[in-house]
Structures are given as structure tokens and as C-alpha cells.
Structure 1
């Protein structure tokens, strides 16, 4: 289990993560979503003990990551696929990790095979790996110690469609066998296909979390009018969060509130319906409307 309680991280006057709390239960895949600069990577680094929090705490299996006696045997982490020794072969990189964790050497070949790196790839220097191959090697590192928990930041980055499909099956099988997965990704359709729960962060704060099906069922309201500018103004005056959708305006409010705001302003609507059918992409746009997408530079 991963338990995040009121995590906060400040860099001077800038608050990168603000009072973030959520839990990831065994047997589930939790999708951790947000625009660039929202605080996802910082939160994951704090969970893994790489960045000290300004406030709050995070535990894995009931203990802070830094207090785990042999963390690789309990938590598999992939935060940066490029953070690997470029001069070693794939097999050498895993062999060093296996020796460090006290894992039997035969696990190296088995794990390389599991992530789809064949004998030829295993003998190649990491500097010659494509991004997709580095992702597979990084995932092999995460799985090598047979952990109960996986914490993965953009693990499908650089994979081709076949590789993305393969990774989806791998993570689903890991969770179905009782494992816990925290998965951050910009590939929203893939997250929607594999996740059980969602945590959405925007501007450093949690804007929504819960069961995936429940969140997608309450994805807001889609509304259109002949006078789109007048409708947008009416919604803003009513204090309803609005973003541009492909088929109209997406409003993070129920249809009754949206219809009342339009009626009060005398705006005639041409369409008013629940927006839940748009899936995770539409929910994401609705929840993160107005959140800064600029990368923080420190």
C-alpha cells in the first residue's frame, strides 16, 4: 500500500505540491494524472525519498521509503529511464542491481525476457538503446526484486503501440496478483484502459480522486449555444469552471446549474447533456481547466 498524507513541497515562494493526500491499495492500478508542472513528478520523488517534503509524509507498506531495509525488494521504481549507466550493457546493469539487492543472478535473464529485451539487446551498451529500450530496461530494474509495489513515471514514453499494449497487460497482471501500482502517464487512453482508480492533480493540488468508473460517470456537462461568447460569460459570472471542448463548452458542474446560469442570462441553449461519455480525456480537460501548464524552472 502507498499512503500519502498532506504532502507539501515549497521552493522558496513557489509551492510545487500543496497538501496532497491519497492512498493506493493492493490489487489496484492508480492513474496519477495532471498537466506538465502540476506536481506529479515531485510527489512521486517525495514518496521515493528523493525529495524531502516541506510538510506531510508518505509511506510504502506502512514505512517511509528511506526506512525500508532493502527497498528494491519491496518497491519497484521507474522515474527516469535515462538515469542509467550508459557504458554498461543491459545485462550488466541488471546484474549490478541484482547483486546490490541480494537477488539471485538467474532473475536477471528472466526479467530481461519478461520485459522483451532479447539476448542481443542484453549485450548492447545502454548508450545505444532507443528510448523505448531504456524504458524496458528501467522497468526490468523495477521488477527485478519481485516487489509488491510499483511506482512508475511515464513508463510508456518512447514505446510503440505494440509495446504500450504489452505494458498495459503487464501492469494489469501485476495488480491482479495483489500488487500495488502508482502510474503517471500522459497517455490518457492507456491509463483509462488499465487503471482502477484515478488521482488528478492541477496546480499542485488534488482536484479529483476516486474510482475510475465513478469519476468518468460524473465528468461534468457539455453545453452549446448559438452565442458562444454570451454563454461563456454567463458561466463565468456564475462561477462555473469552463474549458473548450471539441463539441462545445465543458463545465465542471451538473446540468441543472449550467442550465440555470444560461437561463438567468437569457442565453438560448442548443445542447445540454452530461459530458461523461467523453471518457478520461474529457474528464481530464474539465478537471484541469485553468491549471498552469508551464514547467516550473528552478
Structure 2
């Protein structure tokens, strides 16, 4: 369980995170989204005790991260895969982590196999790893203590499509076994595929939060296509029904429209003008990408403030 309540971070006059609150429950993946400079990384650093909060609280399993005994046994963290020691091999990196956390040494090889770095890759120096390999190693480090909570910042960076699918499956399995996952990523389609709940942040503030099904529920819009698109458009405008989007022609049909109205109103407008309809249905939602752009497209964070430390701008 992760609980963040009214978390705020200021650097002098610049506020980079303001009054942020959300909960990440066991058995769920929470997608933590926002544009560059929105305050995601700063929030995650405060959660993990790496950046002191100006005000508010952030707890993991009911206590601040820094109060957890041997925190790596409870919380797996990946904030920056490039921070690993370049001179150590993958196996040495995990063996050292296992020793620090007090888990069996065999756990290192087990995790290397889990993340696809067993064999020759385990003996290579981290400095020779690709970004995707470093991400896999970082995930192995996060998992080696058998935690019940994962905090991951952009873990899919550098992964190929197969690797992204692997990571999605791994996170889903972790949550389905009762774990709690806080996942920050710019890969919106992947977040949409794996997340149960969403928290969207822009300009340092939460602009939307809730279950994925609730936030991405179809709106009261209607998709309509007619034999005569021009006549349909005139009928819609004449009835005062706002056309919010045009859709390109489909096989066997002309241009279609998405209308901000219920299907009955659209059907009646078409019937009144004698327009023959080929398709009339509830418009599907635009998905997470449309929600994200709608909520953050015109928002700007404090990332341009020169006095703000670089870690706060991610």
C-alpha cells in the first residue's frame, strides 16, 4: 500500500509538486502519468526518501520509506537504471544487492534468469549493457528482495517490443499476486494495457485520478455515417448538434462524424432531413492518449525555472 497525502515540494519560490494525493492499493497497478517537468520523478523521490518534502506525507506499508527496516525487502525501487556501477558485472551487481538485503545468494541467479540476463549477459560489465539490459537489471534489483510494493520510474525505456510485453506481463503477475505497483511511463498504450488505476499530474498538481474504467469510460458521443455525408453534416448543424470530429471514409461508406449528442437525437435529426444512415453507434472513447492530451495539453509545469535542481525537472 502506498499513500500520498497533500505532498508538496518547493525550491525557493518555485513549487514543483503541489498538494498531490493518491493511493496505490495491493493487487493493483497504478499508472502515474504526466508531461516532462510535471513533477512525477520528484514525487517518487519524495516517496522513497531521496528528496525531503516541503509538506505533506508519503508512506509505504503504513510508514515513511525511511522508517522501514531493511526497505529493499518490502519495496522494490527503480528510479534510474543508468545509476548502476558500470564496472561490475550483472551477476556481481545482484550478488552484492542480495548480500546487502540478506537474501540467499542463489536469488541473484534466479533474478538474472527471470529478467532474461542469465548466461553470458550475466558476466558482462554493466557499462557494456544496452539501455534495455540495464533496465532489466534494475528490475531484477527491485525484485530481488521479494518486496510487496514496486516503485518504477520509466522502466520500459530502451526495451524493444518483446521486452515491453515481458515487462507488462511481469507487472501484471506481480499485482495479481497481491503486490502494489506504482508505474510512471510515457508509453501510454502500455500503461493503458496494464494499469488498474490512473493518476495524471500536470504543473505539479493532480488533474485526474481514479480507476481506468471510470476515467476512460465512453462519453456521451455518437458515431454516425451516412450515404450522403454532406447532407448528414447539414442535418446535424441544422439541428444544433455539435460535430466534434470527422472520421475518414471507410470501405463502402463515406465520411463519418462524431457528434456530442446521444444516438436518438442524431437519428432524429437525420430522419427529419431524409438522410439515409449507414452506421449509428456510441462513439468509443479516445483511450488514455486522448485523456492525457486533454488534461495536460495546455498545462505547463515549472520546468523552465532556472533555479530548480535538475532532478526536479524530470
Same fold (TM over 0.5): yes
Change (3 A) 1:52 1:113: same
Deviates more, 1:273-282 or 1:83-92: 273-282
Q: Which of 1 and 2 has greater Rg?
A: 2
Query: d(CA) in 1 for partners of 2:219 and 2:64?
Result: 34
Change (3 A) 1:14 1:293: closer
Match of 1:109 in 2: 109
Unaligned runs of at least 5 residues, structure 2: 224-243, 248-258, 262-280, 309-314
Change (3 A) 1:183 1:61: same
| Aligned pairs (5 A) from 1:71-150 | 71-150=71-150
State the shift of 1:125 in Å.
Answer: 0.4
| Aligned pairs (5 A) from 1:1-298 | 1-217=1-217, 255=260, 277-292=285-300, 295-296=303-304, 297=306, 298=308
Match of 2:256 in 1: none
Q: CA-to-partner distance for each residue in 1:206-259, whole Å, 9 max, x for gaps?
A: 000000011001669799xxxxxxxxxxxxxxxxxxxx9997xxxxxx947xxx
Q: Secondary structure at the match of 1:206?
A: strand
Match of 1:260 in 2: none
State the shift of 1:2 in Å.
Answer: 0.1
Q: Secondary structure at the match of 1:277?
A: coil
RMSD: 2.4
Is the CA contact (8 Å cut-off) linking 2:59 and 2:65 kept in structure 1? yes
After TM superposition, the runs of 4+ consecutive aligned structure 1 residues lying more than 2 A away are 218-223, 244-247, 273-276, 293-298
Change (3 A) 1:220 1:136: farther
TM-score by length of 1: 0.81
Query: d(CA) in 2 for partners of 1:53 and 1:83?
Result: 23
Query: d(CA) in 2 for partners of 1:255 and 1:26?
Result: 38
Change (3 A) 1:274 1:51: farther
State the shift of 1:177 in Å.
Answer: 0.3
State the shift of 1:20 in Å.
Answer: 0.1
Change (3 A) 1:70 1:275: farther
Is the CA contact (8 Å cut-off) linking 1:150 and 1:180 kept in structure 2? yes
Is the CA contact (8 Å cut-off) linking 2:29 and 2:175 kept in structure 1? yes
Change (3 A) 1:128 1:5: same
TM-score by length of 2: 0.77
Query: d(CA) in 1 for partners of 2:219 and 2:301?
Result: 21
Query: d(CA) in 1 for partners of 2:218 and 2:204?
Result: 22
Is the CA contact (8 Å cut-off) linking 1:72 and 1:142 kept in structure 2? yes
Query: d(CA) in 1 for partners of 2:5 and 2:282?
Result: 33
State the shift of 1:37 in Å.
Answer: 0.3
